[in-house]
Amino acid sequence: MGKIVMGPQTLVYPMPTLLVGTNIDDKPNFMTVAWGGIANGEPPMISVAIRHIRHTLKGIRQNGTFSVNIPSADMVREADYCGITSGSKVNKVEACQFEVFYGKLGNAPLIEQCPVNLECKVIHILDLGSHALVIGRIEETHVSESCLTDGEPDVSKIRPITYIMSPVTRYQALGEVLAKAFSVGKELKPGQ
Amino acid sequence: MGKIVMGPQTLVYPMPTLLVGTNIDDKPNFMTVAWGGIANGEPPMISVAIRHIRHTLKGIRQNGTFSVNIPSADMVREADYCGITSGSKVNKVEACQFEVFYGKLGNAPLIEQCPVNLECKVIHILDLGSHALVIGRIEETHVSESCLTDGEPDVSKIRPITYIMSPVTRYQALGEVLAKAFSVGKELKPGQ
């Protein structure tokens, strides 16, 4: 099996599809972010990469807070819309009919229809080039009651969306369960 | 639909399953990381969160480089193994029968069997608490020839693994295509 060299690429599979929320001039706005992930365990932190020109960055700087909302598969149209439009030109909340609520932080807007909502306080903003890497401490987590099983968030009810960059940019659902984590690898442990 | 408040949680769906490679005392080693993602576009950068006690962090500090390898669904056992063992105690390359090669950077070990390999140079190491957030510039990308379609990396051939944290920790494959990105959202655009 040969390898082809392709130069520096932002090629990670799979990426999440996240809706980052901020208040901008006191109005809620959301943008779609695929470049993000958990950044720390204790305390829980998350990072999201946001292009400098984005309206969302203005809101993050104004408030020192933001939210991360996880849309479900039936919100794929709304998730895409929030990535291809700017809050400086359209009212995304209205266009998407998002029901917005606020939690512990008071100024990080959350989307009722998204099964998981994280409220974040900004810890670092790193200028890395085209994007700012915003690192936030997760201050509160909200999960839709209908997406719990025995009190735990259930991925099969949340139905998150992955963002795929290549060969064509598209959204995919999750598929078959491959194995239990912290378990299947034991088969390779010497003496087991 | 009610919401349940769950306190600060590292709850993002979906997370990737990545194998981070380093040379430690000149020997290749790999650990599994789910807390990572693209951190910048131009130049391409990636971030990975690594617990301070991890052997991998020693290798990253020794060399100033690391690799990110994307395992395919048929490597789920190896991916799990590299997360539940330490390179300070076992030879993971041997246990997993990884064929290791080196690229442009010379000291960031890459796994032949993984369809996608990124070579990275360390730009920042942020101490965020329990974890160090390592940010690397992607210097080179290798893709298995068998995973290309018309010269482009093809996710349906790469078959990446998602890591799911709740309700139980497990690995899942990708599923059905939901929609084309930068496209389906146009249905919501006013006047279209």
**CB contacts, 8 Å: B140 with chain A:** 5, 7-8
Cα B188 off chain centre by: 34
Average pLDDT, chain B: 96
Evaluate whether B130 touches A137 at the Cβ level (below 8 Å): no
Q: What is the DSSP string of B2-20?
A: -EEE--S----SSEE-EEE
- To the nearest whole Å, the CA of B91 is away from the closest chain A CA by 10
Question: How far is Cα B163 from Cα B73, in angstroms, rounded to an integer?
Answer: 11
Strands B162-164 and B15-16: antiparallel
> Which stretch of DSSP H or E encloses residue A58?
helix A55-63
* Size of the A and B interface in Cβ pairs below 8 Å: 390
Neighbours of A179 (CB within 10 A): 17
Dihedral of CA A131/A172/A118/A28: which sign?
positive
In this prediction, residue B173 carries a pLDDT of 98
Closest residue in B to A35 (Cα) is B38
Q: Does the beta-carbon distance from A81 to B189 stay under 8 Å?
A: yes
ipTM, 2 dp? 0.96
Closest residue in A to B155 (Cα) is A166
Which alpha helices (H) appear in B49-180, and where do they start and end? 55-63, 76-84, 92-96, 155-158
Average pLDDT over residues A84-92: 94
Q: Does the beta-carbon distance from B143 to A34 stay under 8 Å?
A: no
Q: Does the beta-carbon distance from A180 to B173 stay under 8 Å?
A: no
Question: How far is Cα A49 from Cα A71, in angstroms, rounded to an integer?
Answer: 18
- To the nearest whole Å, the CA of A150 is away from the closest chain B CA by 9
- To the nearest whole Å, the CA of A87 is away from the closest chain B CA by 13
Q: What is the pLDDT of residues B144-171, one digit of tens each?
A: 999 999 999 999 999 999 999 999 999 9
Q: What is the pLDDT of residues A49-86, one digit of tens each?
A: 999 999 999 999 999 999 999 999 999 999 999 999 99
Closest residue in A to B5 (Cα) is A142
pLDDT band at B192 (very low <50, low <70, confident <90, very high): very low
Report residue A78: phi and psi, to 5°: -65, -40
Q: What is the pLDDT of residues B9-28, one digit of tens each?
A: 999 999 999 999 999 999 99
Evaluate whether A156 touches A144 at the Cβ level (below 8 Å): no
Evaluate whether A84 touches B182 at the Cβ level (below 8 Å): yes
Evaluate whether B49 touches B129 at the Cβ level (below 8 Å): no
Q: Which residues of B32-54 are buried (b: 16+ CB within 10 A; e: fewer)?
A: bbbbbbbbbeeebbbbbbbbeeb
